[in-house]
Amino acid sequence: AFPSCRRYVAGGRCKSTAKMEGKVVIITGANTGIGKETARDLARRGKVIIACRDIAKAEAAASEIRAETGNQQVIVKKLDLADTKSIREFAEKFLAEEKELHILINNAGVMLCPYSKTADGFEMHMGVNHLGHFLLTFLLLERLKQSAPARIVNVSSLAHHGGRIRFHDLHGEKSYNRGLAYCHSKLANVLFTRELARRLQGKFQSQGEFTANALHPGSVYSDLVRHSLVMSWLWKIFSFFLKTPWEGAQTSVYCAVAEELDSVTGQYFSDCQPAYVSPRGRDDETARKLWSVSCELLGIQWD
């Protein structure tokens, strides 16, 4: 029973052997955990840009991946999703240096942070997990369009089931619970994906497919819970029932490369298959409102 239980925990695997010669992938937060394993897999297929806040950690991860895969095209760029200035600088540099972008994996995330705000005054979970990636996607969208077929992959979570978009208190100034703040931001990822897919559909089919999907990586043994002593402790005790980062990366890789997803968009996956989305995650009106509020907060026009 032991091995089969472990297999159940491990979940789905990406079986695609798709090569991505000449293709360019950006993965945010790829210096550790799921992101690093996603980068490791994709580095066996094509060019990978690791976009991270901590350059030293990212360089260590990149050189390990380069050594292991033999792919020298694993490049580190500085990106702090808690600062819109840094996001804009990253995008500007990227657009100046790279003529193509085929896959954007919005993977970075913070979880269970004590109450704090980003450089722009956004609550940290909503600011990094949703607004930072929203802005990054906006700034890179044209390049993705030009490179179609292209894919946007948003790493959300099962935690979206516990979230709600509290428009009256988006930045948790009236009331704050760090567990719920994480859930709210993961629901925002699902709603963003849904609305983005709706807006992209039918627009660029002439150049080939352009898709956006979200996913739940599974409960993964990673340092995402570092802000909570209790969670870190529970994670250690129950590590047998948690996915390894490699297992957790499988659905991200699947959404990025699987051939059968060429024209699948606006969906939510877990264990490399479609998964159930909470009713709040399917609310088109909330998705549209979140879109316009996000644009307002970021000072952008995205029609």
Query: Can you name the residues that pair with 76 across neighbouring β-strands?
Result: 50
Both tokens of residue 140?
Answer: 């890179």
187 in Cβ contact with 217 (< 8 Å): no
Cis upstream peptide for 149 (omega within 30°): yes
Axis crossing angle, helix 133-146 with helix 284-298, rounded to the nearest 10: 100
From residue 264, alpha-carbon distances to 56, 149, 275 in Å are: 37, 12, 14
Q: What tokens were used for 158?
A: 């099962």
- Is residue 182 among the annotated active site residues? yes
Task: Report yes or no: 253 and 38 within 8 Å, Cβ to Cβ.
Answer: yes
CB 158 within 8 A of CB 278: no
Catalytic residue among 182, 221, 254, 268: 182
3-class state of residue 111 by DSSP:
coil
Task: Please give the Cα distance from 80 to 110 (Å, whole number).
Answer: 12
Of the candidates 187, 188, 164, 161, which has an alpha carbon nearest to the alpha carbon of residue 276?
161
Tokens (6 digits) for 23:
């293709």
CA distance linking residue 303 with residue 297, whole number of Å = 15
**Token representation of residue 171:** 């930045």
Q: Collapsing DSSP states into helix, strand and coil, what is residue 13?
A: coil
Active site residues: 182
